[in-house]
């Protein structure tokens, strides 16, 4: 069996594609873009790959869009050539600019096309390809409202194996948390300045909570160096990574969480953005969230993601424009352990630990 997989630009498109590629018992050709982070990731995977020169449209009138159209045409012709040479049994695309030309090429060559959409509001490329696809695998509920519903299958998003293997009780024991509530704050791999500033303003109040341990993942660009202080949780500090600091007995800051699976599974509440893959990981682990969507995400998809969690009573939505209300939401939810447990159970309905296996099975049955 031969399969072409395409997706790129961001980790949200690439990591699900790689998870599907690794689970398929097939010869894989991965097609990515020259400008996305896949150009750095793919050489480390051992996969056969090709990179196309594609880019997105400017949202305002711009002569650059003529260049974009020309590149899309060239990329579609190149994709056709690659598909004819490779002769795949099917093509799977996960979004990003490169998916458009590859999906169009597959359709024109009558090769079965499968789509995987991570977010609750589909990206432009997935919407454009939807009518040409045999099946559309949904990582988040709600996306079926914007796509041909008869083709949609809710599978959940593929998540990393270390997340699937995480054990909450074991993680909390190993981190030395005892019966303390663990609050994690993260703005994603790059951090989020607005979230960081809002949470720093709460450090004094949080440090007075004897029932609470806080991990604040700032990202490297907004990490403030400070000397280590005495802490009661040396094992937690070790798991966070070499650059992590204890700024009080119960508050830790770190530019990067070394063992995210362990810390996330041990968490009782997380303040985060609303990226689809992170939400899927939190859902699999049953972690309630306070979500502050990135307001400039494409099509505002993070807000749509967060609204699904809010509607299912699995999380709270705080818009960045109203981030001053975070204090009330956070301290209110920290008081409500019963409500957090209810939200945790609701969160588990929004993900699927068997997502990758379901997608692979559906691909095999659809060829």
The reported pLDDT for the residue numbered 72 is 92
Sequence ranges of the chain with CATH classification 3.40.50.2000? 2-157+353-366, 163-350
C-alpha 309/C-alpha 347 separation (Å) is 7
Question: Which 3 state secondary structure label does DSSP give 174?
Answer: helix
C-alpha 299/C-alpha 130 separation (Å) is 17
What pTM, to 2 d.p., does this model score? 0.91
Which ranges constitute the DSSP H helices of 121-248?
A: 124-129, 161-165, 168-174, 193-200, 203-207, 234-240
Distance between the two ends of the chain, CA-based, in angstroms?
A: 10
Question: Which 3 state secondary structure label does DSSP give 3?
Answer: strand
Domain 163-350 has CATH 3.40.50.2000: yes
The reported pLDDT for the residue numbered 66 is 75
**Residue whose token pair is 């949200």:** 12
Side by side, the strands of the sheet bearing 135-138 are 48-52, 27-33, 2-6, 90-93, 113-117, 135-138, 152-154
CB atoms within 10 A of CB 193: 13
178-227 confidence digits (pLDDT tens): 999 999 999 988 899 999 999 999 999 999 999 999 999 999 999 988 87
Phi/psi of residue 176, nearest 5 degrees: 70, 35
C-alpha 235/C-alpha 146 separation (Å) is 46
Question: Which 3 state secondary structure label does DSSP give 216?
Answer: strand
C-alpha 216/C-alpha 86 separation (Å) is 46
Question: With 90 as the cut, is the pLDDT of residue 361 above it?
Answer: yes
241-298 confidence digits (pLDDT tens): 999 999 999 999 999 999 999 999 999 999 999 999 999 999 999 999 999 999 999 8
H, E, C per residue of 230-252: CCCCHHHHHHHCCCCEECCCCEE
The answer to whether the beta carbons of residues 112 and 90 sit under 8 Å apart is: yes
DSSP 348: G
The reported pLDDT for the residue numbered 61 is 66
C-alpha 245/C-alpha 69 separation (Å) is 48
The answer to whether the beta carbons of residues 329 and 314 sit under 8 Å apart is: no
Question: Which 3 state secondary structure label does DSSP give 351?
Answer: coil
DSSP 180: P
59-76 confidence digits (pLDDT tens): 666 767 778 888 999 999
Domain 2-157+353-366: top CATH class? alpha beta
Which residues, in sequence order, are bridge partners of residue 215? 184, 252
């Amino acid at each position: 069996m031969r399969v072409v997989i395409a997706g790129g630009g961001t980790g949200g498109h690439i990591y699900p594609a790689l998870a599907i590629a690794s689970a398929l018992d097939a010869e894989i050709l991965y097609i990515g873009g020259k400008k996305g982070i896949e150009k750095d990731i793919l050489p480390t995977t051992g996969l056969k790959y090709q990179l196309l020169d594609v880019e997105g449209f400017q949202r305002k009138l711009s002569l650059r869009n003529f260049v974009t159209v020309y590149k899309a045409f060239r990329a579609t012709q190149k994709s056709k050539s690659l598909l004819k040479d490779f002769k795949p049994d099917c093509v799977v695309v996960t979004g990003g600019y490169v998916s458009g030309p590859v999906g169009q090429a597959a359709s024109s060559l009558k090769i079965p096309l499968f789509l995987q959409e991570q977010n609750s509001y589909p990206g432009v490329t997935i919407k454009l390809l939807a009518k040409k696809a045999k099946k559309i695998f949904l990582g988040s509920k709600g996306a079926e409202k914007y796509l041909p519903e008869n083709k949609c299958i809710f599978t959940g998003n593929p998540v990393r194996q270390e997340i699937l293997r995480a054990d909450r009780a074991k993680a909390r024991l190993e981190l030395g948390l005892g019966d303390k509530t663990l609050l994690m704050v993260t703005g994603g791999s790059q951090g989020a300045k607005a979230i960081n500033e809002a949470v720093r303003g709460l450090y004094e109040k949080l440090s007075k909570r004897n029932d609470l341990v806080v991990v604040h993942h700032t990202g490297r660009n907004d990490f403030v160096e400070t000397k280590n202080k005495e802490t009661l949780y040396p094992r937690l500090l070790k798991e966070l990574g070499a650059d992590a600091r204890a700024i009080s007995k119960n508050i830790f800051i770190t530019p990067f969480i070394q063992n995210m699976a362990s810390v996330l599974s041990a968490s009782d509440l997380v303040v985060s953005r609303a990226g689809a893959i992170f939400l899927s990981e939190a859902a699999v682990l049953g972690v309630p969230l306070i979500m502050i969507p990135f307001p400039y995400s494409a099509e505002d998809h993070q807000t749509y993601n967060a609204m699904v969690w809010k509607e299912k009573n699995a999380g709270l939505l705080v818009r960045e424009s109203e981030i001053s209300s975070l204090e009330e939401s956070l301290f209110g939810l920290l008081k409500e352990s019963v409500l957090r447990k209810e939200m945790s159970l609701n969160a588990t309905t929004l993900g699927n630990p068997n997502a990758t296996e379901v997608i692979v099975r559906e691909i095999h049955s659809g060829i």
